[in-house]
Chain A
């Protein structure tokens, strides 16, 4: 299904007919909501959100989705903002409310940090139930990146 394919990413060529309208907001003292809406094809690949002009194969830009916040704005609209500059919002208008929710859910899970916490969470839960560390079979149980409680963030 094209809608979900577009959200996913990695493997499919860029043939989605309808992109997501996006606009970058310039920071101002009073939050002006919309500047110019440009039609962009938006593609989520791991923890990057690439955006393209609809007729071009190469991206014109990307957003790294770490330390960011995804917020539902008005109808069909969500925004991405970053921790060090929270008033600056990258707004995206979708074709439907359903599409908007799908994007929000996908983007919230798109950071490496979210993945990592999921992993630590599951590891811990499995260990509580089974008494065994599920990462041992992969030989990665000692990896620093998977340790519970050592990440203070």
Chain B
């Protein structure tokens, strides 16, 4: 499946701040063609970078492009009983998708990673945003009700700001617009006013999909949001998991070696 590879690699390596980084040992996944073939479990140390809902891993900390990418949607992060201490696993709702077993350097590092990864999904972010958006509306309403002159605090222009975060208030001047894209093209774009709301200032984010039922309800600290039985679309993402060429080349080499050794 094609991906806008160059853009993805750029996003992975650019200096936009990462949510979490560090070395982890990643279990090497081999294909077992015969049940009685025992390959010793091995781990490879990789440099991991979490940006948003994307977990990139690099061969070295200063590698110029990622080896792989894990899209953290429709997954659970849990401690796992590997032979290794400080191991945790990323598992997907889609049974066909491979799991990732990762090993941290110590207890604190493991806990930090599990926490960071558990809350990394876009779905989670969107849930929280929706919730805050409602809270802000309510806060504004009760403020308006308290005050004699509701116009002051909740004027239409301010309401425009409230519902469209692209038009940020004056105290915070964003240097980026929309999808993390810096202003470019000779400063044609002003602060989001280039995209006026057609419906008069109430451009709301797209409605949330119903929240999936988590396999592991033990993600500590997640908000008690209403659950829905409808599973997310994971078929698309199973193609993206562990995607990069080098990884595939390694698998192919191993397979070829096995072929040479006479395994059918």
Contacts and interface: CB of A to CB of B under 8 A. Distances in A.
Given A43-B236, A101-B198, A139-B221, A153 B17 contact: yes
A38 interface: no
Given A46-B73, A60-B1, A119-B132, A114 B178 contact: yes
B132 A11 contact: no
B129 A45 contact: no
Question: How large, as a class, is the contact surface on chain B?
Answer: 35 or more
A126 B135 contact: yes
A123 B132 contact: yes
Question: How large, as a class, is the contact surface on chain A?
Answer: 35 or more
A126 B236 contact: no
Contact of B19 (A47, A101, A138, A145): A145
Contact of A70 (B16, B51, B179, B232): B179
Contacts of B28: none
Nearest to B176: A153
Contact of B221 (A110, A140, A151): A140
Nearest to A44: B206
B180 interface: yes
Contact of B7 (A58, A68, A110): A68
B175 A153 contact: yes
A125 interface: yes
B145 to A, nearest CB: 12
Contacts of A70: 178-179
Contacts of B175: 153
A106 B206 contact: yes
Q: 7 smallest A-B Cβ distances: which pairs?
A: A112-B52, A61-B2, A111-B179, A113-B180, A139-B221, A46-B122, A122-B132
Interface of B: 1-4, 6-8, 10-11, 14, 16-17, 19-20, 51-54, 71, 73, 116, 119, 121-123, 125-126, 128-129, 131-133, 135-136, 139-140, 143, 162, 165-166, 168-169, 172, 174-176, 178-182, 184-185, 195, 198, 203, 205-207, 209-210, 220-223, 230-233, 235-237, 239-240
